[in-house]
Amino acid sequence: MDLEPFSEHTETRWVLAPRGKMRVPGVIYATEDLIRDMDDKVLEQLSNVATLPGIVRAAYAMPDAHWGYGFPIGGVAAFDPEAGGVVSAGGVGFDISCGVRTLLTGLTREDILAVQEPLAEALFAHVPAGLGSTGHITLNEAEMDAMLEGGAQWAVERGWGRPEDLERIEERGRMAGADPAQVSARARERQRKEMGTLGSGNHYLEVQHVTAVYREDIARAYGLAVGNAVVSIHCGSRGLGHQIGTEFLKKMVQAAARYGIDLPDRELACAPIDSPVGRQYLGAMRAAINCALANRQIITHLVREAFAGVLPEADLRLLYDVSHNTRKEEEHEVDGVKKRLFVHRKGATRAFGPGHPLIPEDLRPFGQPVIIGGTMGTASYILAGSETGERLAFSSACHGAGRAMSRRQATRTWHGRDIVEELRRRGIIVKSPSLRGVAEEAPGAYKDVSAVVEAADAAGLAHKVARLEPLITIKG
């Protein structure tokens, strides 16, 4: 992407002044090299988001930003309902509440290596993965409603997990304001047999080990040290979330016209927050968040079962669960005044700084854990929300590496079997039902996650705490 339209405020903060119909500036947090590697659509989409009614401060893009549907992936924007603010399905994305949770194990890298193959087989057998994968749970209508209303709390009440898990999940495992009545019959049908499944695409289950610690005090509070083994789970709301996104994008195109909203791009379809369509979407979207939280909770239970059969001494305690495709109602300071805002984070992670009341009490002095997933065969990172993140981008950070090429391009460049063998030579076992899916998610198809994390840290969005590298990867 050409840097010419931007002014460099710091080495990691680049500002696009309002032009045309933009109501606010566009801001990218990234190094010069990362921005040059971004596709030109990021500039176009960032500019378009800045034209939406009620937007506050700026339209932001994180260091891993790339082209998305309507909003860039890695996009953050907050809207004020008192100033005509809107809600946009494209600003959340199709995989609503896709996110990552990381579990501590109480084990070491050596413990895992001693049983690496049987543990990989057990995890692959226990956790369904792949396109259209289904699990052993089938929800009737009453249980579907209860799940959409209760999220991870519903899952724990039915024996999938521990009550203490809820303390380490955003919203304590249940997103308030969900309205199951706004979730269509088609969305429900798509999800009926998909609870407790990874799905496909960039979703994964990984056993990882800590290879570096950058902030000893925070790492100690999080329970992380070099050599520790952890488990990370990356997935979302599966078919239900995708169906909700698809349906409401169509409704919002019509709503935007009714309310006189001038859309620079049809993909930015939106509706006023307080309109009937806006309220209906928020109810359905919150239900999808609960679906994703319940899904990751059930997978956590299945992971614990798999470990119990191979490494019964493992103590799989939840470090944190954070989503990166959401729209949350939050209080933020704007021009010295606290305001109720609706913050869209699409491919971006909430990253509250130290002292925030929504962080678990024992972690509150250190900032919220921020989990940055890599792709198969590359590093992942644990960060902590910073003191400066609130004023920089409404307490938001990146969510991963960001794709560098399309999935079609990746399958033309790599063969899945070759990647599996190459990673095995590096000591990483990959299990997947689809070799094509492995090729689509080849390490080379993504940006350098370490460069993305360094930029987020340098910008002050979040503090780098620990680096994780995979030992076992279960891919969809």
Kindly list the catalytic residues: 399
**Is the Cβ–Cβ distance between 419 and 430 less than 8 Å?**
yes
Dihedral sign for Cα atoms in the order 316, 322, 323, 326: positive
Distance of CA 49 to CAs 93, 223, 391, Å?
Answer: 14, 39, 19
Q: Characterize 421-438 residue by residue with b for buried, 16 or more Cβ atoms within 10 angstroms of its Cβ, and e for exposed.
A: eebeeeebbbbbbbbebb
Dihedral sign for Cα atoms in the order 90, 95, 97, 103: negative
Contact partners, residue 216, CB within 8 Å, separation at least 6: none
Dihedral Cα 179, 184, 187, 189, nearest 10 deg: 110
**Is the Cβ–Cβ distance between 31 and 451 less than 8 Å?**
yes
List, in sequence order, the alpha helices (H) in 269-401. 276-310, 389-393
Helix, strand, or coil (residue 23): coil
Residue with tokens 């999935």: 407
User: Residues in the chain, how many?
Assistant: 476
**Is the Cβ–Cβ distance between 194 and 452 less than 8 Å?**
no
**Is the Cβ–Cβ distance between 393 and 60 less than 8 Å?**
yes
3-state helix, strand, coil in the chain (%, to 5): 40, 25, 35
**Is the Cβ–Cβ distance between 341 and 394 less than 8 Å?**
yes
Tokens of 310: 């191979």
Of the candidates 431, 125, 93, 113, the residue with the CA atom closest to the CA atom of residue 242: 93
Strand partners, 343: 78, 328
User: What's the rounded Cα separation, in Å, for the pair 17 and 14?
Assistant: 10
**Is the Cβ–Cβ distance between 370 and 343 less than 8 Å?**
no
User: What's the rounded Cα separation, in Å, for the pair 304 and 402?
Assistant: 30
Distance of CA 304 to CAs 137, 318, 470, Å?
Answer: 17, 11, 18
